[in-house]
Structures are given as C-alpha cells and as structure tokens.
C-alpha cells in the first residue's frame, strides 16, 4: 500500500468522481467540468473502443486494464455528471467494471479520485470478421478461406500475445464452452505465458461444467488480474470468496470482501 493513501474498491460505480479536464484529437473530444455536479462530455467519432478508454486514462491519470475489446469503429456521445457514469455510458453495460479509488483527506469533502479500473467479463457482441490473425502464423490466403470460428481458433495460438488475448476473449464471449474446439482452445490458454490470455480463458471456462476447478486454479495464479477474474466469476461460491480473503494482494482481498458482502445482503 502506498504510504499516506488508502484504497477502496467499488463495483459497478457505487462511488463517483468528477474530474476537470479537456482533451481533443481527430476522433475524440473529452470535456469535463471542475466542480461536483458539473456536466461531463465524451464524444467519440469513428474510433475503436480501446482508443476511447485510453483517452480517459490519459486525461484522468487512471490506470485502465482491459483486453479483448472489439476493433470496430463507433460513434458515441455521453453526457454525464461523473467519470464513473461516463465509463458506464461508453461500455454500455457490456462488461463488469471494478473501480479502485484513492481516499485522500479533503477539507472540502471532495469526492475521491479514481485510481484504477479493471474491465472484466466482457460481453461485447462478437464480430469475428474484424479479427485479424497474426501474419506470422496465418497467411492472407488462409485467412480469406476461414470462417469466423476458424479465425479465432487460429489466432488464439498466434505469436502476438495481444492477438491471443483478443481471440480468447471473443471465444469466451460466445458462451459456447461446451463446443469441443472452443473448450480445447480455452483450456490451452489457461497455461499461456501471458496473463491477459489466462484471464480471458478463466472468464470463458467459468461458464462450463469444470468451473470450480478452473476458479480454484486461477486463484493460485501469479498475476493479480487472473485472480481478480476468478473472484469476479465466483458467483455464489462463498467458499472460494472466503479463500480469496487470504490473498497476498490487497486488491483481491478487498474485491472478495465486497462480493461476500453482496451475497450476505438481504
């Protein structure tokens, strides 16, 4: 923990934080007021979702963790009162969002600033035609001859780790874990050297019959993002959440505590 600061987690925007900033490029215009309750605006014109998230991260100073986002270009206008609401507008309930806030003493009792965001459990509409396989492993002729599923399965073993993470995320989003080909790809991704790939595999396999074993294994992963994905997919498994309370990382412990509190709520 950073000295002099305290961390608090919130799920799905339980807390809100306005911030003052303005950013523009050819695709994104980001205007935010400096006072609580001021109008915040994010306007995206024909840009990919990752670019919009990066703009928010750059101008707020927040760290945003994500992978497997759709590559299609979109246009969107969000007018809200908090950064949290802007992010929910941008993602349109297509992901589970985990926010971390910094608690800083304030004489004016100002809201706490956002410090970090995890975009987990993505449920974006799969657009397999937009996936581009790694040119080092698949030729253009091969790509043209593949259907959407084949492209994703091939790209899940690509040399480029981001391509692998994107492909595994889209395979997980299909919700077809019982499909032998998809299950085999996701199972192989559990041992990938890249943490993003492993996390996306956990998200997909958590919907299958071997969910408990997958989550138990993921909770022992060396990377925090994979363990967070396990907690995020724990559902009503209070035993697994209790186990996560003993995690070596404070963020995992805090998230598990919030999930347990939600289970206990009437």
pTM of the model: 0.64
Looking at per-residue confidence, does 144 or 71 come out higher?
A: 71
Quote the pLDDT of residue 59.
81
Q: How far is CA 263 from the centre of its chain?
A: 22
d(CA 266, CA 99): 23
Q: Residue 202 and residue 190: Cα distance in Å, rounded?
A: 7
Task: Please determine, for residue 125, whether its predicted confidence score (pLDDT) is greater than 80.
Answer: no
Per-chain mean pLDDT for the chain: 75
Domains of the chain with bracketed CATH = 6-120 (no CATH), 128-264 (1.25.10.10)
Q: What percent of the chain has pLDDT over 70?
A: 72
Reduced to 3 DSSP states, what percent helix, strand and coil does the chain have, rounded to the nearest 5?
40, 20, 40
Question: Could you read off the pLDDT of 5-21 as tens digits, one per residue?
Answer: 233 334 433 333 333 33
d(CA 190, CA 211): 13
Residue 108 pLDDT: 57
In whole angstroms, what is the distance from residue 13 CA to residue 97 CA? 8
pLDDT per residue as tens digits for the range 58-89: 888 888 877 667 777 888 888 888 888 888 88
Which own/partner contact pairs does 84-90 have at CB distance under 8 Å and 24+ positions apart?
84/13, 84/15, 84/16, 84/17, 84/114, 85/13, 85/16, 85/40, 86/40, 86/42, 86/56, 87/13, 87/56, 87/117, 88/12, 88/13, 89/42, 90/42, 90/44, 90/49, 90/52, 90/53, 90/56
């Amino acid at each position: 923990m950073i000295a002099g600061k305290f961390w608090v987690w919130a799920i799905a925007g339980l807390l809100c934080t306005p911030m003052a900033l303005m950013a523009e490029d050819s695709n994104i215009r980001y205007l935010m007021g400096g006072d609580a309750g001021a109008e915040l605006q994010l306007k995206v014109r024909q840009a990919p979702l990752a670019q919009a998230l990066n703009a928010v991260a750059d101008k707020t100073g927040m760290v945003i963790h994500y992978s497997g986002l759709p590559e299609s270009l979109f246009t969107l206008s969000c007018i809200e009162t908090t950064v949290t609401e802007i992010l929910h507008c941008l993602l349109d309930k297509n992901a589970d969002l985990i926010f971390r806030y910094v608690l800083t003493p304030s004489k004016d009792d100002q809201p706490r600033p956002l410090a970090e965001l995890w975009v987990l459990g993505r449920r974006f509409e799969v657009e397999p035609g937009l996936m581009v396989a790694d040119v080092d492993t698949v030729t253009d002729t091969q790509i043209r001859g593949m259907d959407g599923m084949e492209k994703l399965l091939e790209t899940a073993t690509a040399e480029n780790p981001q391509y692998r993470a994107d492909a595994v995320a889209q395979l997980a989003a299909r919700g077809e874990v019982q499909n032998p080909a998809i299950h085999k790809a996701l199972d192989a991704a559990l041992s990938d050297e890249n943490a993003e790939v492993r996390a996306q595999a956990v998200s997909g396999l958590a919907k299958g019959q071997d969910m408990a074993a997958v989550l138990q294994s993921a909770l022992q992963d060396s990377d925090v993002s994979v363990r967070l994905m396990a907690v995020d997919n724990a559902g009503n498994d209070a035993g697994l959440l209790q186990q996560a309370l003993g995690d070596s990382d404070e963020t995992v412990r805090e998230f598990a505590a919030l999930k347990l509190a939600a289970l206990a709520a009437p």
